[in-house]
Amino acid sequence: MGRDDVGAAQGGDVAQQQENTKSIDDWLPITSSRNAKWWYSAFHNVTAMVGAGVLSLPYAMAELGWGPGIAVLVISWVITLYTLWQMVEMHEMVPGKRFDRYHELGQHAFGEKLGLWIVVPQQLVVEVGTNIVYMVTGGKSLQKFHNVVCPDCKSIKLSYFIIIFASVHFVLSQLPNFNSISGISLAAAVMSLTYSTIGWVASVHKGKQPDVDYSYKASTRTGAVFNFFSALGDVAFAYAGHNVVLEIQATIPSSPEKPSKKPMWKGVIVAYIVVAVCYFPVALVGYWAFGNSVDDNILITLEKPRWLIAAANLFVVVHVIGSYQIYAMPVFDMIETVLVKEFHLPPGRTIRLIARSAYVALTMIIAIIIPFFGGLLGFFGGFALAPTTYFLPCIMWLALYKPKRFSLSWITNWICIVLGVLLMVLSPIGALRSIILSAKSYKFFS
């Protein structure tokens, strides 16, 4: 066999490999469909960001107090918008290449191996953790709806409501990619706006309570400090959308003349306006009306009118269905990539049915066993939410663009990194204390 024959054979192998890689990419959920419009980015981002966590913001305000509370909300909004802009910009920083997944950008910034180890564990903690919390939230909201509509009915265990909620996801999880869930995502975004509005409008209607108290909930200085730290984690959880932002941008078409960052950024701006319209009124009006007696879910504090609260709980269910899918899609992508590229299983419907159903079942089982998982997320979330949202994009930006020392970009990024690291260290401390205090009331399989 001559040298030319060997070269041709190798060339053929390379072409075959490229062809195989392309066919796998065309099948994987993140890269299979690239015809999204800018408004898809808007409602996917709203669905990812405005979770049911918005309903706990008045409670976070009660632990932060007026001044610090408003400052934390505004600073978080500004920093996370800035870091999101950085991620949108970095998506196509290498001409002709797209970083379709968070870990691909991490690998470009920190190296093949290290990039994976830095990004993937954190991203998985956020996405899988959020999915488990949404299983619990969906179940609880269904249970609340049932209890409000039928107060005299026999009470049903939370576990059964979680199973009902999960049954929807066994079906929806078979939708192939981000664009195929855009209708569900749009419904979820509309619902988040609706129940946030119900939360603050009903609070305005109730008015400022006669015995309202704006002092800290905790009676001791130590308690107040720990609660303050814990509330920082709650606010961080409210801004967790960065973990799916590159994956959302991957669905938008791109060419050198029309890069994907323009429509993506347009969608992000709309999403962030919606975020502000949801977060600030709920947090401030809820705290103004009820002071430190507000519950960790504003809808619980608002018991009447009954029909409105029942409707709001149903809206939460619809929203959480969409949110679950948005956070599950990158996880499905990771699982399917490993199965197809590492284990060389043939891509197709069977592998998708088994892998995704197994994932939904896993999150459902954990939610049933540990229905107080939300209390634990503040602890895990502090470690993973703060970096992926508040400062990992800044570190990547400094590593890749190397802005001049003491330039505006350099200073801004370092401020974000310092604040993000503080958040990462302080919020788990507060969350750990609240876990220890409420551990007595935790019930498995409740």
Higher pLDDT, 13 or 85: 85
Give the pLDDT mean for 340-362. 92
pLDDT of residue 173: 94
The vertex-108 CA angle with 103 and 112, nearest 5°, equals: 75
362-391 per-position pLDDT tens digit? 999 999 988 776 667 667 767 777 888 888
pLDDT of residue 418: 94
**Ranges of each domain in the chain:** 30-441
pLDDT of residue 2: 55
Residue 3 has pLDDT above 80, yes or no: no
Confidence of residue 273 (pLDDT cuts 50, 70, 90): very high
pLDDT of residue 4: 56
In the chain, the amino acid numbered 331 is V
pLDDT of residue 117: 92
Residue 230 has pLDDT above 90, yes or no: no
Give the pLDDT mean for 410-426. 92
What is the Cα–Cα distance from 1 to 322, expressed in whole angstroms? 58
Residue 9 has pLDDT above 60, yes or no: no
Confidence of residue 87 (pLDDT cuts 50, 70, 90): very high
What is the Cα–Cα distance from 121 to 99, expressed in whole angstroms? 18
Q: Are 416 and 394 in contact (CB under 8 A)?
A: yes
Percent of the chain clearing pLDDT 70 (strictly above):
94
Q: Are 325 and 146 in contact (CB under 8 A)?
A: no
pLDDT of residue 377: 67
What is the Cα–Cα distance from 328 to 169, expressed in whole angstroms? 10
Per the prediction, the chain carries an average pLDDT of 86
44-63 per-position pLDDT tens digit? 888 888 876 788 888 888 88
Please say whether the dihedral angle defined by the alpha carbons of residues 352, 355, 358 and 359, taken in this order, is positive or negative.
negative
Query: Domain 30-441, CATH 1.10.4160.10 — does that match?
Result: yes
Higher pLDDT, 358 or 227: 358
Residue 356 has pLDDT above 90, yes or no: yes
Contacts of 91 (CB under 8 A, 6+ apart): 98, 99, 105, 246, 249, 250, 260, 261, 264
Locate 229 and state its tokens.
């730290």
107-134 per-position pLDDT tens digit? 999 999 999 999 999 889 888 988 998 8
